[in-house]
Amino acid sequence: MNFNDIFKTSFLDNISSVSLLGMTLALVLAFGLGIFIFLIYKKTYNGVMYSSSFGVTLLALTMITTVVILAVTSNVVLSLGMVGALSIVRFRTAIKEPLDIAFLFWSIAVGIVLAAGMIPLAVIGSVMIGLILLVFVNRKSYSNPYIVVLRCDGHESEQAAKEYLETRTDRCVVKSKTAQKGSIELNLEIRLKDDNTDFINELSEMNGVASAVLVSFNGEYMG
């Protein structure tokens, strides 16, 4: 047996074991489920700036994973070489939202399951995951926090402003305080009773209050 015979028996014969119909069906389903994952991501995104490129990445990642797993399952020698090639790849893009990691793993898992031929598991599992994310991500169990940046000219105006905020909000907590000669700056975390923010206008007109700024806070909240 020469090298050509070894090459044919190790590669060409095994690669042909994946039928054209199976490859086409797997890629079409990967595209459909990738679109579904993309729509769920778009619907449940709660970050500051939405990135459409990340949503397209989820779609592409589902199809790419399907192609890779189809190639791996068709030939053992090819799978070992692909593992070695992928082991040198380094991804340095920072993940800003923790939920984005779940979407990345979801896309990869769907691609693996589809290439393995477990189509009902991929479809039913994706539908259930999507419904769970829609229910829990969009549900608000607490009111959104806000930060009030307050600048006063003395202790008396500071106390009056804090007492006023406590009467107009559900919660008022001092996060930081900067004191300078003739000026006091406060950062307070508050919880609004409703969507009315007119109290910040009245607060800025109080005696001794130089300025009052209301900022929405999008950081992590531990109840």
Average pLDDT on 131-160 reads: 82
- Convert the pLDDT of each residue in 44-53 to its tens digit: 887 667 778 8
Average pLDDT on 179-193 reads: 86
Fold of 145-216: Alpha-Beta Plaits (3.30.70)
209-216: strand order across its sheet: 169-180, 183-192, 145-152, 209-216
* Percent of the chain residues past pLDDT 70, beyond the cut: 74
pLDDT for the residue numbered 120: 92
Residue with the bigger pLDDT between 110 and 193: it is 110
pLDDT for the residue numbered 91: 59
Q: Rounded to two decimals, what is the model's pTM?
A: 0.61
Sign of CA dihedral 129, 132, 138, 144: negative
pLDDT for the residue numbered 3: 47
Q: Tell me the domain boundaries of the chain.
A: 3-137, 145-216
- Supply the mean pLDDT for the chain: 79
Q: How many helices (H) and strands (E) does the chain have?
A: 9, 4
Quick one: pLDDT band at residue 124, thresholds 50, 70, 90?
Answer: very high
Q: Which of 74-83, 102-111, 160-169 has the highest mean pLDDT?
A: 102-111
pLDDT for the residue numbered 122: 92
Q: What share of the chain is helix, strand, coil (3-state, %, to 5)?
A: 60, 15, 25
Residue 204 reports pLDDT greater than 60? yes
Of 68, 57, 67, give the one whose Cα is nearest residue 34: 57
